[in-house]
Amino acid sequence: MTIYILNGPNLNLLGKRQPEIYGRETLEDVERLCAEAAGEVPVKLLQTNWEGQMIDWIHEARDRARGIVINPAAWTHTSVAVLDALNAYEGPVIEVHISNVHKREAFRHHSYVSLRADGVIAGLGIEGYALAVRRVLTLLG
């Protein structure tokens, strides 16, 4: 079974959008780092700008993914629906933010997803995804 690497809104523009905050690396770079970190375990990187699609992927993960690494992007701070979907998932969940959300606007300091996540990584750039994958593997034993 796979590890899902789920990405929320606007992360399709990673590398182009506000590079001073999110860096110049792309989601393809994220996928490569995650695959390296996972070794033999397959990873599946997905991105959507649609909240319902994200929820459907989290539901799908119940049967298909051993663990989830999720950067919910703006839904971190707004979405009870994403939290509820993650609460219906039984495997390890690690929340990742590329930027240090705690150094930014106050509305980014609260995360609904953190109520479910087994760990949270913020401000380490895209390296955070690779560390999150390693943590998922550790939690899976």
Closest CA to 100 of 80, 125, 118: 125
Q: Return all residues near 135 (Cβ < 8 A) that are at least 6 apart.
A: 92, 94, 118, 119
Q: Which of 32, 66, 108, 134: binder of ligand DHK (CB under 6 A)?
A: 108
C-beta of residue 17 within 8 angstroms of C-beta of residue 25: no
Active site residue 22: yes
Closest CA to 22 of 8, 3, 37: 8
Q: Contact between 117 and ligand DHK (CB under 6 A)?
A: no
Q: Which of 30, 99, 117, 133: binder of ligand DHK (CB under 6 A)?
A: 99
Site string for ligand DHK, 27-66 (x = CB under 6 A): ----------------------------------------
> Where does this chain bind ligand DHK (CB under 6 A)?
10, 71, 73-74, 76, 97-99, 101, 108
